Amino acid sequence: MFSKNVATEYELTRSKAVQQLYEKIDQVAQYDSSVIVLGESGVGKEVVVKRIHEKSPRSRGPFVRINCGAIPEDLMESEMFGYAKGAYSGAKQQSKLGLISLANQGTLFLDEIAELTLPIQAKLLRVLQERHFYPINAVKPVSVDIRVVSATSRNLRQLIEDGKFRQELFYRLNVVPIQVPSLRDRKEDIPDLIAFFMQHLDTRYAKRKTISQNVIDIFLQYNWPGNIRELKNVVERLVVTTPDDLIDTHHIPLEIWESIEENKRRMMPEYNTLRELLAQYEYQIIKDSVRRNKTLLQSSAELGVDVSTLSRKCKKYNIRLDGVN
């Protein structure tokens, strides 16, 4: 079961793998080792990083996030490292603290670390090695006491091979890697996530709507390439665009239906005979029904066959009665 004191949707889980992941996060948080959080876009990497900070001895210190892909390349050095007075032209030009200095005695979160240029990577590496750095135009070094946690959705090892990421920096950052699973690998959480979103949307929009079980069943077939963020957006879209109080399958966006059908076509093996093709469809229909229902009696009523026939076909296709195959 998931915790009742859930801070965000990203921490809502029935998945044992995710529960074990958060146990690991809470353990790692107690140490100052560098952590790199890996995972696809939308899985909740920033939530993991914030939890590391909040559970760490540095929790009362600052938490500073740098989005390495959002700051223009020509501004990145001054934003990260700051500059001394006179670094740039202009009579009123004063010194400026960089984001690294602002994170002193706290946690520096380098989001999308793979987007840093090689020169900035080299300067960051020196900070991690020496615990001090020179702001632009400075003659004296600035000492810092920071914990660095980074995140990326890209393959850093491949970028190293391609000459786009420094191997030494990778080893400095990759002391403790944490892989956040995609939503398709924790689909048991989808019903609870939907309920969580609906509860918040009911309050936000003062409209109480219900999502049918059929919609949830369809959502369980979809692979959610945008992960939890995509699920959240789709649920909100359904709430604000559906005129009825009940959100049903005909309200589901077309692109979700098309993606599900495309996946089925890709997974469907070639069959030589009509009998083989019909057998595959029968297997899939029975398997889906058994997964949805708690008993064979309920599935037999849904499918319009007697219990003995359904039981025989389950044995024929090796379909477990708990719906897990």
Q: What are the tens digits of pLDDT across the range 299-308?
A: 999 999 999 9
Fold that domain 186-316 belongs to in CATH: Helicase, Ruva Protein; domain 3 (1.10.8)
Q: Give the pLDDT of residue 3.
A: 36
pLDDT exceeds cutoff 60 at 325: no
Calculate the CA 157 to chain-centre distance. Answer: 20
pLDDT exceeds cutoff 50 at 222: yes
CA atoms of 29 and 52, how far apart (whole Å): 5
Domain spans in the chain, listed from the N-terminal domain onward: 9-181, 186-316
- When pLDDT is averaged across residues 142-168 and rounded to a whole number, the result is 97
Per-residue model confidence as pLDDT tens digits over 71-97: 999 999 999 999 988 656 553 567 889
- Assign 3-class secondary structure to the chain: CCCCCCCCHHHCCCCHHHHHHHHHHHHHCCCCCCEEEECCCCCCHHHHHHHHHHCCCCCCCCEEEEECCCCCHHHHHHHHHEECCCCCCCCCCCCEECHHHHCCCCEEEEECHHHCCHHHHHHHHHHHHHCEECCECCCCCEECCCEEEEEECCCHHHHHHCCCCCHHHHHHHCCEEEECCCHHHCHHHHHHHHHHHHHHHHHHHCCCCEECHHHHHHHHHCCCCCHHHHHHHHHHHHHHHCCCCEECHHHCCHHHHHHHHHHHHHHCCCCCCHHHHHHHHHHHHHHHHHHHCCCHHHHHHHHCCCHHHHHHHHHHCCCCCCCCC
Structure confidence at residue 309 as a pLDDT band (50, 70, 90): very high
CATH classification of 9-181, choosing from 1.10.10.2120, 1.10.1740.10, 3.40.50.300, 3.40.50.10680? 3.40.50.300
For the chain, the C-alpha Rg in angstroms (whole number) is: 26
pLDDT exceeds cutoff 80 at 177: yes
Structure confidence at residue 269 as a pLDDT band (50, 70, 90): low
Structure confidence at residue 288 as a pLDDT band (50, 70, 90): confident
Work out the mean pLDDT of the chain and round it to a whole number: 90
Per-residue model confidence as pLDDT tens digits over 224-243: 999 999 999 999 999 999 99
Q: How many CB atoms lie within 10 A of CB 84?
A: 17
Q: Give the pLDDT of residue 90.
A: 55
Q: Give the pLDDT of residue 183.
A: 95
Which residue type does 285 have?
I
Q: Give the pLDDT of residue 271.
A: 60
Report which of residues 12 and 200 the model is more confident about.
200
pLDDT cut 90: percent of the chain above it: 72
pLDDT exceeds cutoff 60 at 223: yes
Residue 323's nearest CA partner among 294, 283, 285, 282 is 294
